[in-house]
Amino acid sequence: MGIIPETFGGMTTVLLQRSSALADLAGRRVEILTKSASMPDPAKRADALHADGRLSSQVGIRNVWWDLRQLPDQGLAHLASQHQATIPVDEELLEPDGSAEVRRRSEDGTVLQTDRFRDDGTRFLSDRQDVRTRGARGGRRLTVFDHSGNAVGQWNSMRALYHSWVDWAIGDGEAILIIDSAHTGGLFFDYQRENVTTVQVIHTHHMRQMRSDDRGELDSDVMNMFTHLDWYDGVAVLTNRQQTDLLEAGVVGENSFVAPNMLIGAPENPRLERDVHRGVIAARLSGVKRLQHPIRAIQNARGAGVDARLDIFGDGVKEQPLRELIEELDVSDGVALKGYAPQARAQFQSASFTMLTSVYEGQGLVLLEAMAAGCIPIAYDIEYGPSDIITDGVDGFLVPNGDVKALATAVERLTKMTDSELSAMRRAAIKRSQDFSPANITRLWSENLAAIQGRRKPIGKGTAVASLTGLAMRNGGMHFEIDVETSEEAADIRKVWITWVGRGRDAFGRVPARLTLRDGGVHADVHVGADRFRDVDEATLIDVHVDVEGEGFLVRTRISSRDVPMPVNGGGFVPYSTAHGNLSIRHAR
């Protein structure tokens, strides 16, 4: 994980809960590794979470920067044993000024170097980012120092330093590395050790984020994670529907498994009687949550004569626009923004209903928390989560995505139910939430981890050369003919996919090819329908690759297309050869 901050939401909650369950119920030794330089003292953070009951006392927390700062010299030497310092840096070190870090900047304010210091004033790290040309960002050199000021380790990327730290933290024993953060996954997709099984957890809807109408700014690390999911030994997704979509898109393969979020701390014997008109939402005040929809739904319900009231707990960038909307709609007597509260979810025990109106979710842990408390969920039928949890009309309500009037109608319907009908629905919601108990979900994790430990595959170990031999527009799409040669025996090649990645970080997909053995390699032919690119932004250029999987290797390489005639159009897309002679695709102008 990147960081466990003082205040946090669903993804961090899931991490803490799963770590606790794997320690307490499965008997595993568990440590949470964090990489953010902003992470508070990890030992104190763990103590606070232990005391608050949010983390098992059997689970510890580490942070790379705290370890580099506090490790004794022998530990630092061990951590850096594979990356000993070879380039002298004495002439480029920054003068200490008594602070924890000193920075050097360019004239425009860009950080070019950061030196970090221990509490005793000794330097433990120098991070220079203008290695190629002084004064202009380019190249990187990270040097770690012992307490005597000797350079003991040196790396040319943050990724390499993180890998060394994780190697040191794990040691030689058998381990499973579960990566919860998408950003962190982008730094560890190619981390492979004989004694380590890697598992990436998919918490959110990255395919939806890449669509141009509601793009979520997938940065380069997240794209590295998402476009290399079969490089991990395992990929955990939260719902069956999400796994199906990812399989159909070619994004994951046999390494994927479904392991929903677990529900911990469900209230015992929640009362069924409560104010039927009161609703509660616990969520970040962000655009993706679309909290303007519940506010408008309450306005509609009140306009129909229903005394509906809604308390919204959370903070975020949309607080002021939401306040303005409440004032504009004149519903301040029906909707209140309550701010962030660590125990906001306890409000579900007294509320009659909650609403979930996100653009997308990974699963929607908040629905389970509400249902466990007997609070009836009213949710948009979005990807993913609500339809995997709620049976409409039995333990909650599913309404069409984006339909504010349907939200209001569900509130009206709920308030007009008889006491016996309400009690039956609350009991059904409580019962459904129990399917996600720690025991059930931990058993799922244990079974799947055991299965994937035996099928690790080397990645990036071989080499491949792919050459385009023909490209034709056919049946509303493009038909590719490709020759593939590898450093391995052709007979060992199991699968070849044609893979595309958008340079604008809003496109990714794969289609398996049909293979024919030839002298020295294989011939692959594959058809890609134009509809596979329908959500790609018009400004995005699409680079085309092949992924080649064989006995003991998995590689990705560009496709050489120099001197191959290119069709003029293909359902609004045009293939072309780049300046380096590789195959790419762009929108037809």
DSSP code at position 266 = P
**According to the model, what pLDDT value does residue 365 have?**
83
What tens-digit pLDDT sequence spans the chain (589 residues)?
Answer: 999 988 887 789 889 999 999 999 999 999 999 999 999 899 999 999 999 999 999 999 999 999 999 999 999 999 999 999 999 999 999 999 999 999 999 999 999 999 999 999 999 999 999 999 999 999 999 999 999 999 999 999 999 999 999 999 999 999 999 999 888 999 999 898 989 999 999 987 666 555 534 444 567 888 889 889 988 999 999 988 889 888 888 888 888 999 999 988 888 889 999 999 999 999 999 998 999 999 999 999 999 999 999 999 999 999 999 999 999 999 999 999 999 887 888 999 999 999 999 988 878 889 999 999 999 999 999 988 899 999 999 999 999 999 999 999 999 999 999 999 999 999 999 999 999 999 999 999 999 999 998 776 666 667 889 999 999 988 778 899 999 998 878 778 888 999 999 886 678 889 999 999 887 789 999 999 888 887 777 778 999 999 998 877 888 999 999 889 888 765 678 899 999 999 999 887 6
Kindly tell me the burial class for residue 553, based on how many C-beta atoms sit within 10 Å of its own C-beta (0-12, 13-18, 19 or more). buried
DSSP per residue, 123-160: EEEEEESB-SBTTB-B--EEEEE-TTS-EEEEESSHHH
Assigned token pair, 580: 């380096």
DSSP-derived secondary structure letter, 457: -
| Distance in angstroms (rounded) separating the CA atoms of residues 301 and 334 | 10
The amino acid sitting at 539 is: A
Token couple for 87:
């380039």
- Site of tokens 């005597």: 148
E-strand ranges in 440-579 read: 464-474, 477-486, 493-502, 508-512, 514-518, 521-529, 542-550, 553-560, 573-577
By the 8 A CB rule, do 527 and 430 touch? Answer: no
Tokens of 323: 């306040």
Strand 464-474 to strand 553-560: parallel, antiparallel, or no bridges (unpaired)? parallel
Pairing mode, strands 175-179 and 397-399 = unpaired
Per-residue model confidence (pLDDT) at position 218 = 64
Distance of alpha carbon 189 from alpha carbon 276, whole angstroms: 48
Do you find a cis peptide bond into 191, omega within 30 degrees of 0?
Answer: no
Write 167-176 long-range contacts (CB < 8 A, 24+).
167/79, 167/82, 167/193, 168/75, 168/78, 168/79, 169/31, 169/33, 169/62, 169/67, 170/195, 170/196, 176/449, 176/453
Angle at 210 between CA 205 and CA 215, to 5 degrees: 95
- In 274-366, DSSP assigns E strands to 278-282, 309-313, 335-339, 353-356
What is the predicted pLDDT for the residue at 459? 66
Single pTM value for the model: 0.83
- The secondary element (H helix, E strand) that includes residue 105 is strand 101-105
DSSP-assigned beta bridge partners for residue 2: none
Contacts of residue 394, Cβ cutoff 8 Å, sequence gap at least 6: 425, 428
The token pair that represents 281 in the structure block: 């939402």
Taking a C-beta distance cutoff of 8 angstroms, is the pair 362, 385 a contact? yes
d(CA 122, CA 142): 16
Type and span of the H or E element at 114: strand 111-117
Interacting residues of 107 by C-beta distance below 8 A, sequence separation 6+: none
Instruction: Give the pair of three-digit tokens for residue 147.
Output: 């307490």
Q: Which domains does the chain have, with CATH numbers?
A: 71-159 (no CATH), 278-436 (3.40.50.2000), 464-587 (2.60.40)
Tell me the three state secondary structure of residue 539: coil
